[in-house]
Structure 1
């Protein structure tokens, strides 16, 4: 397929590499110059408008502000040449997803929300889990792209915001797991048990899942750089989850606990470290950090 890709952070680069490997023709644009270096086979274009055309356009931008700036304020949906569909793969708010779906409908461009679960190495391997919601016909047309980037696509119906709600729910659970491991390590160490030994036991028995094993290994080794997913992005996702929860009258008391812990971590200089650095908050509060 003829694809435009906007947003070449660590995740975006891996996703483009997977598309190229699968034989798709990919035009790329990023706000900062030089981000496309090393993406052999991709065509670098000079503007977002040149990428936002063809059979499909994919966006993988950092947050609501970046996506709104490029797509809405940049007037991409007002151009003479527009894509056959737009796959929005960023982790964004439910509210913005709803707005974008309406704006795209008025412009006649099918909009699909397709946020992903997985780190940059998973993106590069084409093994992401992709949460997808949008018009059935458009999702069917996007299938070759989704298959190139992901191990599995998880459909959640025709309403795009559902996919974003699922993504935020998943990230809430992931960050909760890190908080639980941080508190459990601080508790165990208070009783003379090395936190690394506790995590070795639990992540190979009761909690032998990718999230616990991966983040647990980072916590056990005090290894928070380079980040696979940085802490400030985790803080953004918890904030978005709380906003979306309030909008539908759903209390999320533990999300508030996570928000405060993430703010504390950022106040201590850990914003750009891996999300696993949230565990340092419990250690610090116990006098062992």
Structure 2
């Protein structure tokens, strides 16, 4: 399949590499073209603009925030009006998803397909894809999703459904990290090793990937290099808050998580992983 890929950060580069490995004819674009070197060396074509990358059958994008997506779609030489079906893997706000769906509807079509999984999962083609949009459009993307992930979940005909699921899931990840950080800080204050606590949790009723993966980060203080930087986590929690406000849904735990993300960024910088909220929890307890 002729595929364009736009956005070559940690996640995007890994996803694009797996599309190449699966034999797709890949054209890539990134604001900083040097990030495409390895992909081009492996056989990808380098586009000079987002529009050029969207001349095939499908154009997939993985970008950091709403502004980056808007620039690629609506900016100079953007993909709006290009022939490729736009598949957005980015975690973005519901209003923008609805705008993209409306504006692409009369042209190439739009599928919202955010993913769950950190860079290591992206490299291993083990992402979970959450897709929403026109059923036939998702069918067309099935070989691409199979090349990058271990399972695809279809959650509705409205693209915003996938984005809501993604935002809700990211909130739950942060809530789980917050709970583990608080519990580990408590037991450590009483003389129990964090590792022992994690072994009990994951060996009994909390045997789930989110606890084992993030629990290891907390036990080992492995917050750099960031797999997902705290400012991006804060961006996502702000998007969750906007969605909750629009739907009049109270989310009190969200306020705690956002405050700890802000504290972590202020105290430890923008290059810390979002799991670094554990540092804010410990600091509040006087356990540096």
TM-score in same-fold range (> 0.5)? yes
How far residue 75 of structure 1 moved from its aligned partner, in angstroms, is: 5.3
| Distance in 2 (alpha carbons) for counterparts of 1:56 and 1:241 | 28
1:129-153, Cα deviation, whole Å (9 max, x unpaired): 0000011111111111111111111
How far residue 78 of structure 1 moved from its aligned partner, in angstroms, is: 5.2
Label 1:19 to 1:78 Cα distance change in 2 as closer, same or farther (>3 A): closer
Aligned partner of 2:223 in structure 1 is 224
Contact map agreement 2:230 2:273 (CA 8 A) in 1: yes
Unaligned 5+ residue runs, structure 1?
Answer: none
How far residue 15 of structure 1 moved from its aligned partner, in angstroms, is: 0.5
| Distance in 2 (alpha carbons) for counterparts of 1:227 and 1:37 | 22
| Distance in 1 (alpha carbons) for counterparts of 2:267 and 2:79 | 41
Contact map agreement 1:204 1:213 (CA 8 A) in 2: no
Q: Secondary structure at the match of 2:268?
A: coil
Aligned partner of 1:203 in structure 2 is 202
How far residue 190 of structure 1 moved from its aligned partner, in angstroms, is: 1.9
Aligned partner of 2:63 in structure 1 is 61
Contact map agreement 2:49 2:77 (CA 8 A) in 1: no
Q: Could you say what the CA RMSD is over the residues aligned between the two structures, in angstroms? A: 1.3
- Given the two structures, how large is their TM-score scaled by the length of structure 2? 0.96
1:13-92 matches, cutoff 5 A? 13-39=13-39, 40-74=42-76, 76-77=78-79, 79=81, 82-92=82-92
Aligned partner of 1:121 in structure 2 is 120
Q: Secondary structure at the match of 2:133?
A: coil
1:146-165 matches, cutoff 5 A? 146-165=145-164
Q: Secondary structure at the match of 1:272?
A: coil
| Distance in 2 (alpha carbons) for counterparts of 1:214 and 1:141 | 33
Q: Secondary structure at the match of 1:3?
A: strand
| Distance in 2 (alpha carbons) for counterparts of 1:276 and 1:7 | 24
Aligned partner of 1:258 in structure 2 is 257
Contact map agreement 2:66 2:93 (CA 8 A) in 1: yes
1:184-242, Cα deviation, whole Å (9 max, x unpaired): 11111221222232122212222111111111111111111111111111111111001
How far residue 35 of structure 1 moved from its aligned partner, in angstroms, is: 0.5
Contact map agreement 1:270 1:277 (CA 8 A) in 2: no
1:170 aligns with 2:172: no
Runs of 4+ off more than 4 Å:
none
